[in-house]
Amino acid sequence: MASPAIAVVYYSGSGHTKVLADAVVSAAASTGATSALLRVDELTEESWNFIDEADAIIFGAPTYMGTAPSAFHAFAEKTAGRWGVQKWHNKLGAGFTNAACKAGDKNSTLDYFATFGAQHGMNWVNLGLLPGWKSTKGTENDLNRFGYFNGAAAQTFSDVGVEGVHPADIATAAHLGRRVAEITAVFAAGKAALENRTSENHTSERELITAGA
């Protein structure tokens, strides 16, 4: 069976979210998935084809003014034709974001990604991690250190470069990439098994008809 294809579609202004996007795509690839990292404002015809054919799409962007940046919204609006024919129906989806503040309204961006996926009829994959850093025994190095469920959420100080992206956030993003790829593989295998069963049923129906039953 072909390996599942995962498109990581992202935007990053100063590079922080790109570090997370790199972690998501590498972790997905480490499971054997065919994965591609595609920037929303640099999509070519080939990139759009990859997204359309992918089994899963993971959306990522920093939080700007309490939502995804305008470049991501421009990309989303370009998908209206695909929405009209539900071209992405039943693909799996997930999201990640990054912001300067510990909270910073990141939840709005993750919710927006999930709503965007729902409009396209996609099946949303959550982060699948218990919250970290929630008791005196926790530390800022815990996975899912900000306790999100609907996706991966990171915090990077506004006055640092890409080296300032927190290792716990990179590991949380990698967890999301791996999780989506693993669930997508199960989903694709199930679909293939069902299609196989349906074609076997058709074959035995044909055999019965041929045998005159």
Ligand X SMILES: Cc1cc2nc3c(=O)[nH]c(=O)nc-3n(C[C@H](O)[C@H](O)[C@H](O)COP(=O)(O)O)c2cc1C
Regarding 16 and contact with ligand X (CB under 6 A), the answer is yes
Quick one: CA torsion of 74, 78, 6, 19, rounded to 10 degrees?
-10
Q: How far is the CB of 102 from ligand X (least distance, A)?
A: 8
Residues 6+ apart with CB under 8 A from 81: none
Regarding 90 and contact with ligand X (CB under 6 A), the answer is no
Binding letters toward ligand X, positions 139-178, x by CB under 6 A: -----------------x-x--------------------
Q: How many CB atoms lie within 10 A of CB 173?
A: 31
Q: How far is the CB of 23 from ligand X (least distance, A)?
A: 13
Amino acid type, 62: P
Regarding 15 and contact with ligand X (CB under 6 A), the answer is yes
Number of residues located near ligand X, criterion CB under 6 A: 19
Q: Which residues of 30-55 are buried (b: 16+ CB within 10 A; e: fewer)?
A: ebebbbbbbbbeeeeeebeebbeebb
Q: How far is the CB of 55 from ligand X (least distance, A)?
A: 26
Q: How far is the CB of 120 from ligand X (least distance, A)?
A: 24
Q: State which residue, 152 or 188, has the beta carbon closest to ligand X.
A: 152
Binding letters toward ligand X, positions 31-70, x by CB under 6 A: -------------------------------xxxxx----
**Residue from the set 31, 79, 98, 150 that interacts with ligand X by CB under 6 A:** 98
178, 31 Cβ separation under 8 angstroms: yes
Q: State which residue, 62 or 95, has the beta carbon closest to ligand X.
A: 62
What is the SS3 assignment for 8? strand
**Residue from the set 4, 93, 104, 117 that interacts with ligand X by CB under 6 A:** 104
170, 21 Cβ separation under 8 angstroms: no
Backbone CA torsion sign across 123, 66, 69, 158: negative
Backbone CA torsion sign across 100, 102, 104, 107: positive
Binding residues vs ligand X (CB under 6 A): 12-17, 62-66, 98-101, 104-105, 156, 158
